[in-house]
Structure 1
Amino acid sequence: METAVVWFKTDLRISDNETLLKAIEQSDQIIPVYCFDDAHFECTKYGFKKTGSIRAQFLLESLRDLDENLRNIGSGLLIVKGKPEIEIPKIAKQFSAQKVFSKREVAFEELQTEKLVQEELLKVNCELETFCTSTLYNTEDLPFTLKTIPDVFTNFRKKTENEAKIRTKFKPPETIKSPTIPALKLPSLEELGLEPISIDSRAAIQFKGGETEADKRLMHYFFETKLLSTYKETRNGMVGADYSSKFSPWLALGCISPRTIYHEIKNYEKEYGANESTYWLVFELLWRDFFRIMFKKYQTKFFLYSGIQTKKENSKSLNESLLWSWINGTTKSDFINANMLELKQTGFMSNRGRQNVASYFCNELNMDWRIGAAYFEQELIDYDVCSNWGNWAYLAGVGNDPRGHRYFNIEKQAADYDKQMEFRNLWLTNK
C-alpha cells in the first residue's frame, strides 16, 4: 500500500492546496502532520522570540480548525514537536511512507530545514516532493528566469501582468483515506515557552485562526458589505475592522491562498463591477509574490545590514533605552507611541503605521533596521518572513526601493492620517 506523509507548514488549509491533492492522487493513504519546530520558539540573536504569544495563539487556532476540516473528510492532523529533520523522517518510517509532500520554501532558514529533512528522509528510503502553494503566480509561469527577474517592483509587475496567467485554484478533496489519526493534541502556550495572553479590547479586529475564519472574513469584506469596492480609498485607515481587508494573518499561515482571494475578486467584479479598488487588492497580492521571489534570488542578503545593496556601511549600534522607548510607546512622538502600543497589545498594526514606525526607527532613532524587523517577527500576528524582512529592508533603503533611502515626516503623516486624533486618543488614553 502506497503511503504518503503530508507535512503541513504555512499552508494550513484543505482548499487550493496542491500539496494535499497530489498526495491523495498518488497514494492509497495519507498521514497529515504538523511539526512544532523547536527553532521557531527560540530567541534570535537580537534578543526577541522568533514567535510571540499572539502569533502562537493564532497558529494553535488554525491547527485546530485544520484538524476539524480534515476529520470531516476522513482524516485528521498528527502533531509532533521537535526538529523537523528528526520528527518528519520518524513519522515516515513509522508508517512506511514512500514520499513526503510539502510546501516549497524560499527563505534561507526554511530552505536549510527542508534540505536537512530531505537528507534524513533518503536514509529511510523516502522522497520529499514540494509544491508552490503560497503565491498568486506559479514561479514557473513567470516571464523571467531567477537571474533576470527585475529588482524593481514596477518592472516586475508590468511584465508579469502582461505575460503571465494566474492558474485556477484547486478544489478541496471530498474524502481522504488515512489510518486512524489520534485525537488532536496541541501544546499549550506554556509548553511552547510563552506567556498566556489576552488581546486588548481596543483591537481593530479580533482575529481567530483557521481556514473557516478566513473564508468568513472574505465573505464579509467582499459580498456581505461590498467594502472591496472602496478598498483603495480606505486602506490607509487606522481605526476599526473594515478600513482594510485584514486578510494578512490568514495569508501568512496559508489558511487562505492568494489565488482563492484573486478568483473571488474576479467573481465580485462580475457581480458588482471592477474598479481601482478591486485591482488594488490584486496589486498588493503581487507585492507578496515579489518579495517571495526576491528572497529566492538573494537568500541571506535580506538579513544583512547592507541588504541586497552593494554599499558597505558599519552597522549602527544598539541604544537600549531608545529601543525600549520605541517598543513600549514612550518615544517623543505620540503617533509612533500609539502604533507601537497597538502592536504590543494586539499583534497587529495598520500598513500606514508600519511604514511610519519603521521610518522612525531607522531615521530618528538611527538604529540597525534588523533589530526592528526582529521585534516585528516576534510580535506580528501576520508575520511572514519575506514580507516582513523585505519591507523593512525597503524602508531602510537597502532593499528593492529604486529611490533608495525612504524618510517619512512623522508629524505630517499624523496630521494626514489621524487628523481628528481618533487613533491616538484610542491608544494613548488609559482604558
Structure 2
Amino acid sequence: MQKKQKTSLVWFRNDLRVNDQTALYQAAKESEQVIALYCFDPRHFAETQFGFKKTEKFRAQFLIETVHELHRNLEQHHIALLVFHEKPETVIPKLISDYSIEAIYLQKEWTSEETAVTNVLKNELKHIIWNEYYDQFLFHPDDIPYTEFKKIPEVFTEFRKQCEKTVRVKSRLETHKLSESNLIKNITVIPSLTDLGLEDFEVNPKTAFPFSGGENQALSRIEEYFWESKKLSVYKKTRNGLVGKDYSSKLSAWLANGSISARTIYWEVKRYEKEIGANEDTYWLIFELIWRDYFKYISLKHGNKIFQLKGILNKTYEWKFNPKAFQQWTNGQTKEPFVNANMIEIQQTGWMSNRGRQNVASFWAKEWEQDWRIAAAYFESLLIDYDVHSNYGNWIYNSGVGNDPRDRKFNIKRQAEMYDSNGAFQKLWLQTSLF
C-alpha cells in the first residue's frame, strides 16, 4: 500500500466543486492532510488592449458566489479553502513553505495562459510532486478512439459517432470526508466585486439567466429542470428559444467554471431516461455535452491556432477593425434589430442564447467582416458561461476559419422570423415602437 503524503494542496481553477472532482478525490485518498487554494488572479480582472476588462462584473459575480459555495462545501469535508486576490506564482511557494506541502493536485489545463503559470511554478518547485488530471471532459482522453490528439477528426459528426460507439463515460467520484483535525485555521477572505475593481449591480429582472453560482445551485437547477418541470423531455424543441429561464438547461455556466462535471449531468440524464423516459430531446442534452468536449479536443489538437486570426484552417480573409463599428455592435446600434436585441441582452445581463450568439457572430464576421478576435474577447469579458474552448471554438467556426465544413452565413432577417416570429424577444430588449 502506498505511503500517504503528510500534507497536500489542491489548487482549484476551473473545477470548483467537491463532487466528482478527481484532484480533490485523489488528494483526500493519498494524503493525511489536505489544504485547498483558489486565487483570484489580478490578470483576469485587468483591462484588455480593447478597453474592457478581461472578466467583467457578471462572470466575476457568478465566480464569487461559486467560491463562497465551494468554501462551505469543502469545510463540510474538513478542508479549508484558502482564497487570495494574488497571482498563484506568488501565493503557492509561500504556502508550500508555511505548511510543508509535499504534493500539488490540480486539473490539467493546456491553453497558453494557464500552462504559462503552471510552468513557472513547476520550474521553481522542482521538489514538489505534481498530480494533474484531465477532468473537464465527458469522454476522457484515455478512452477516446484516437491514439494521438492530432488524429482527432476536423468534422464533429465523425468524432461524435466514433466516441458514442466506443467510449463508456466514467462513473462519478465521491470524495470522502477527512478527519476534523485536518481543518486548519483560515483567515483568508473572498474578495467582493469592488475588491476586484468592478462595480456592484442589480440583476436585470428581464434576464434569461437569473441563477447564482456554485455547485449546490447547479444541482438545484438539475433538480428543477429535469425532475420538477420535466423540461428535459422537450429540450431539443425549446433549446433555440430566446426569452425566459427554461428554454434551455442553462447548465453551461456551471460547467464553464467546473462547479458541475459533464459526467454528473450525463449520468443524471441517463437516470432520467430510465425513470421518466428517453427521447430525442433527452439525447440532445448529451449531444450538446459532446459538442463541448469536441471544442476541447480541437483546442488540444490545434493549440494557440484557435486564438489566431487565420484560425485552424490557416485561411486568409480581408479582416478589418473599425472602432466605430465595434461601438455600434456592442451597443446594439446596427441595422439589424435582431442583432441589436441580442447585443443589448449580453451587455445588460452577461447572457445570450445559443441562437443569438450564432447570429451576432455571423453579422460581425461575415456581414461586416470585422476581426473576430476582438468580438471573441468581448464575449470572454461578459459571458457568465465563458469557456475558453467553446468560446473560441465557436468564434472560429462562425468566422469561417474553424470546424464548419459549410462556412455558412446566417440570413439574420430569416432567423428573426423563424425564432422570434412575434417579435417578443426584440420588444423585450429594444423597447421601441417597431413591433
Q: TM-score, normalised by structure 1?
A: 0.96
Letter in 2 for 1:372: A
Question: Deviations along 1:173-207, whole A, 9 cap, x unmatched?
Answer: 23366342315511121221212222211011312
Letter in 2 for 1:222: F
8 A contact 2:20–2:261 mirrored in 1: yes
Residue ranges of structure 1 left out of the alignment (5+ in a row): none
Question: Deviations along 1:23-64, whole A, 9 cap, x unmatched?
Answer: 011110011100111221122333332100110000000000
Residue 184 and residue 158 in structure 1: after superposition, are their counterparts in 2 closer, same or farther (change >3 A)? same
Which of 359, 363, 368 matches 2:366?
A: 363
Confirm or deny that 1:186 pairs with 2:151.
no
CA distance in 2, matches of 1:47, 1:307: 24
Question: Deviations along 1:232-279, whole A, 9 cap, x unmatched?
Answer: 000000011101000011000111100000000010001111110111
Q: Which residue of 2 aligns with 1:352?
A: 355
Confirm or deny that 1:393 pairs with 2:385.
no
Residue 140 and residue 194 in structure 1: after superposition, are their counterparts in 2 closer, same or farther (change >3 A)? same
Stretch deviating more after TM superposition (102-111 or 387-396) = 102-111
8 A contact 2:76–2:177 mirrored in 1: no
Q: How does 1:256-405 map to 2 (within 5 A)?
A: 256-314=260-318, 316-403=319-406, 405=407
CA distance in 1, matches of 2:257, 2:185: 23
Q: Which residue of 1 aligns with 2:219?
A: 215
User: Any idea what SS the aligned residue of 2:85 has?
Assistant: strand
Q: Which residue of 2 aligns with 1:226?
A: 230
CA distance in 2, matches of 1:285, 1:249: 13
Deviation at 1:89, TM superposition (A): 2.1
Confirm or deny that 1:24 pairs with 2:24.
no
Confirm or deny that 1:243 pairs with 2:247.
yes
8 A contact 1:19–1:131 mirrored in 2: yes
User: Any idea what SS the aligned residue of 1:198 has?
Assistant: coil
Structure 1 vs Structure 2: percent identity of aligned residues?
A: 47
Residue ranges of structure 2 left out of the alignment (5+ in a row): none
CA distance in 2, matches of 1:371, 1:181: 44
Q: Which residue of 2 aligns with 1:253?
A: 257
Q: How does 1:92-111 map to 2 (within 5 A)?
A: 92-111=96-115
Deviation at 1:157, TM superposition (A): 0.6
Residue 380 and residue 262 in structure 1: after superposition, are their counterparts in 2 closer, same or farther (change >3 A)? same
Which of 40, 58, 68 matches 1:36?
A: 40
Q: TM-score, normalised by structure 2?
A: 0.95
Letter in 1 for 2:34: I
8 A contact 1:6–1:31 mirrored in 2: yes
Letter in 1 for 2:328: S
CA distance in 2, matches of 1:338, 1:131: 41
CA distance in 1, matches of 2:48, 2:132: 27
Deviation at 1:370, TM superposition (A): 0.6
Letter in 1 for 2:424: E
